[in-house]
Amino acid sequence: MDKENKVIFQFLAEPTDVNFGGKVHGGAVMKWIDQVSFACASNWSASYCVTVYVGGIKFHKPIQIGDLVKIEAKVIFTGKTSMHIMVDVMSKNIIKDLDYTKTTHCIIVFVAVNNDGEPTHVPQLIPSTDHDKKLWDYAQKLMLLRKDIEEEMAPFKNR
């Protein structure tokens, strides 16, 4: 059986996830993103993994308490020790809506680590479909853009 590069979580947004405006807290969404992508990275690498980077989070639409939330995390690029994971968060009113609405999209990078917390090799992803090849290119383009962003941020990071 092929290695699974995708993990999906589905659950109801609970009253305890509320923010001060009565909708789901952005921090709760970020926690879910971290959990789903951790499961995805660990499942792919069969190793303990840590988050090294989260990028491009945009909250397009609010999630209502009681909505059915669906989060898909997919390994789209692998380096030597890192896995670039694309995460899509969707939600719908379970009674009124037929379709999900995309609420958040981001890329999160995990590194597989050994018992000493040092980066360790991960199985390589070989993109086979046209869509997966596009996602691989997308991850590479973002890596290049990140270099410029990190250069811009460098003078302010360690102040």
Ligand X SMILES: CC(C)(COP(=O)(O)OP(=O)(O)OC[C@H]1O[C@@H](n2cnc3c(N)ncnc32)[C@H](O)[C@@H]1OP(=O)(O)O)[C@@H](O)C(=O)NCCC(=O)NCCS
Which residues contribute to the site for ligand X (CB under 6 A)? 50-53, 79-82, 109, 111, 113, 117, 119, 146
Coil/strand/helix, residue 53: strand
Name the one residue in this structure whose structure tokens are 């990071």.
Answer: 157
To ligand X, the closest distance from the beta carbon of 119 in angstroms equals: 4
Residue among 80 and 133 whose Cβ is closer to ligand X = 80
The residue with its CB nearest to ligand X is 79
CB 46 within 8 A of CB 105: no
Residue among 23 and 146 whose Cβ is closer to ligand X = 146
To ligand X, the closest distance from the beta carbon of 150 in angstroms equals: 7
154: left (phi over 0), alpha (psi -120 to 50) or beta: alpha
Token code pair at residue 61: 């639409």
To ligand X, the closest distance from the beta carbon of 104 in angstroms equals: 19
Phi, psi values for residue 109, rounded to 5°? -110, 130
Residue among 5 and 82 whose Cβ is closer to ligand X = 82
